[in-house]
Amino acid sequence: MRIISLNLWGGRAFSSLKEFLNNEKDKTDLFCFQETLEYSLGMPEIYSIKAKTEHQPKEFSERENLYTDLKEILTDYNSYLTDTYSSGKERLSMFIKKGITANEDEYSIIDKLGLKVEGLPYSVGCIMQHASIVSDGKTYDICNVHGLWQHSSKDDTPERIKQSEGIIKCMSNMDPRRILAGDFNLLPDTKSIKMIEDSGFRNLIKDYNITDTRGKLYTKKLRYADYTFVSSQINVNKFGVIPVQASDHLPMVLEFS
């Protein structure tokens, strides 16, 4: 099977994103996306929109109904969208190839925390999207997460420690074949990452010596954010990132059995 995980950046690089998805969809079984927008289900507060606009480069604009756009591209997939995890109405989404048996749900990991973005009120929490899928008679539990964004810091905080505890607890009752992927907003040497590793997961970013998950559209120095973890029962055939400018993150690609 083949999984791609990508923080979509709210669709700000949509033209390149669309081209990327069209190139990958015929050979990919499941997409895990973070920062999926769908304003048709409810608009953000005016202060949250202004905060995001001020925080992001001016030459890039959100796709307000990105989930609808994705469904028009990924027509051979069943799609799943979570509740929002920020006052900016970001959501997680999964697209699972039609014909794959799947049950999807979500877990609340951290309630929304208040902070300031460009001096304006904003709130961000953490939820985890989960799909139990069956392939070749085997059950796999796939989890999609967007870890807490706390300004420009990618270090441990009490909330991020609690976040890792919550993720570990939720996944402890799942099938032994487990995959956890997404944008964790963490550096690789943090306690928050080590907790997940110590709970029985391989960190593929570390194992495959990936040193940059952000790509050319991200101009800051900290190049880590995204991770894919697998349990020992997952046979990894191939893993890496794709150097495309479909977002300010790079897509992570996992092929496994």
**Which domain CATH number covers 57?**
3.60.10.10
Q: For residue 87, what pLDDT is reported?
A: 97
Please name the residues in contact with 72: beta carbons below 8 A apart, sequence gap of 6 or more: none
Structure tokens given for 208: 């495959």
Q: Angle CA(175)–CA(33)–CA(178) in degrees, nearest 5? A: 15
Q: For residue 5, what pLDDT is reported?
A: 98
Name 108's bridge partners: 127
Distance, CA of 44 to CA of 57 (rounded, Å): 19
Positions of the chain with pLDDT under 50: none
8 A C-beta contact, residue 213 and residue 222: no
Question: Which domain covers residue 86, as residue numbers?
Answer: 2-256
Number of domains in the chain: 1
Q: How many CA atoms, within 13 angstroms, populate the side-chain half-sphere of residue 230?
A: 21
**pLDDT tens digits, residue range 27-44?**
999 999 999 999 999 999
8 A C-beta contact, residue 82 and residue 127: yes
What sign does the dihedral 64-148-185-222 (CA atoms) show? Answer: positive
Q: For residue 57, what pLDDT is reported?
A: 87
- β pairing state of 138-146 and 178-183: parallel
Q: For residue 244, what pLDDT is reported?
A: 97
> Which whole-number Å values give the CA distances from 118 to 56, 73, 121, 165, 256, in the listed order?
10, 34, 9, 30, 42
Q: Which of 211, 103, 200, 145 is nearest to 6 (CA)?
A: 145
State the DSSP code for 10. Answer: G
Rg (CA), the chain: 17
Block residue for tokens 């709210």:
10
Q: For residue 18, what pLDDT is reported?
A: 98
Distance, CA of 191 to CA of 170 (rounded, Å): 18
Q: For residue 58, what pLDDT is reported?
A: 82
Q: For residue 151, what pLDDT is reported?
A: 77
What sign does the dihedral 33-249-145-151 (CA atoms) show? Answer: negative
Its pTM stands at: 0.97
Q: For residue 222, what pLDDT is reported?
A: 87
Q: For residue 195, what pLDDT is reported?
A: 98
Q: For residue 255, what pLDDT is reported?
A: 98
8 A C-beta contact, residue 90 and residue 84: yes
Q: For residue 221, what pLDDT is reported?
A: 87
